[in-house]
A and B are shown apart, each in its own frame.
Chain A
Amino acid sequence: EAGVVQSPRYKIIEKKQPVAFWCNPISGHNTLYWYRQNLGQGPELLIRYENEEAVDDSQLPKDRFSAERLKGVDSTLKIQPAELGDSAVYLCASSYGQGTEETQYFGPGTRLLVL
């Protein structure tokens, strides 16, 4: 079974430029998460989707970040414009079911460097 797929794996951009990350969850997983992991820290939730609905986006900086999961499968996270402080690893995870005890499976992440 294929795991969570993310692309690109690495991205270097200059500040004020836009950037987008893509995630394809495990087949059949209805819940999708985007996390940001700063250097030396644990992941922090940005947004959670149940199918195509964003059910928790309270930690998403909505002035510059946006996300979509149009058909309830793959998802895109966008930053526009990027700032130096956005340099981090962006992780996507998926799970089956709606309970928060459900196991989340993580992708390898996209490492973003903003210069």
Chain B
Amino acid sequence: AQSVTQLGSHVSVSEGALVLLRCNYSSSVPPYLFWYVQYPNQGLQLLLKYTSAATLVKGINDFEAEFKKSETSFHLTKPSAHMSDAAEYFCAVSAPGYALNFGKGTSLLVTP
């Protein structure tokens, strides 16, 4: 079985500050890991994905995430938050033969 746990249902940062959204995974096989973003009343958009290549993955809008097997983590970071980054962020895990399992999401608030 596979699952992800997103630590913190709500995260607030100031504009220009570092964004850090935490995700820990559980998987009995080597996982594929994803971060999606969801803006209000919209579907999910892929930010980045890890599929067993480089452990540091760069995505759209200056987001990146690092796969750390020893810590079973795949935290999402961005050096400088913009107001437009305010949204719901979902971490997800899958593997060959397994469905995509999402976390419960983290709501990011960016304050001026």
Residues 10-48 of B, flagged 1 when their CB comes within 8 A of A and 0 if not, give 000000000000000000000010001000011111100
Q: Which of B96, B99, B105 sits near A99, CB closer than 8 Å?
A: B96
Residues 27-49 of A, flagged 1 when their CB comes within 8 A of B and 0 if not, give 00000000000001111110010
A108 and B41 contact, Cβ closer than 8 Å, known pairs A40-B105, A42-B103, A45-B100: yes
- Measured between beta carbons, the chain B residues less than 8 angstroms from A107 are 43
How big is the B interface, by class?
20 to 34
- Measured between beta carbons, the chain A residues less than 8 angstroms from B94 are 100-101
A45 and B42 contact, Cβ closer than 8 Å, known pairs A40-B104, A103-B49: no
Q: Interface on chain B toward A: helix, strand, loop, or mixed SS?
A: strand
> Of residues 61 to 115 in A, which have CB atoms within 8 Å of B's CB atoms?
91, 93, 99-101, 103-109, 111
Count of inter-chain pairs, beta carbons less than 8 A: 54
Inter-chain contact B42/A108, CB cutoff 8 Å: yes
C-alpha spacing A66/B46, complex, angstroms: 28
- Measured between beta carbons, the chain A residues less than 8 angstroms from B7 are none
Q: Which of B32, B45, B92, B99 sits near A42, CB closer than 8 Å?
A: B92
- Measured between beta carbons, the chain A residues less than 8 angstroms from B99 are 45, 48, 56, 100
- Does B95 make an interface contact (CB < 8 A)? yes
- Measured between beta carbons, the chain A residues less than 8 angstroms from B97 are 100
How big is the A interface, by class?
20 to 34
Inter-chain contact A100/B96, CB cutoff 8 Å: yes
Known: A101-B32, A103-B46. 6 other contacts (CB 8 A): A41-B105, A45-B100, A93-B44, A99-B96, A101-B51, A109-B43
Residues on A lying within 8 angstroms of B by beta carbon are 4, 40-45, 48, 56, 91, 93, 99-101, 103-109, 111
Residues on B lying within 8 angstroms of A by beta carbon are 9, 32, 36, 41-46, 49, 51, 90, 92, 94-100, 102-105
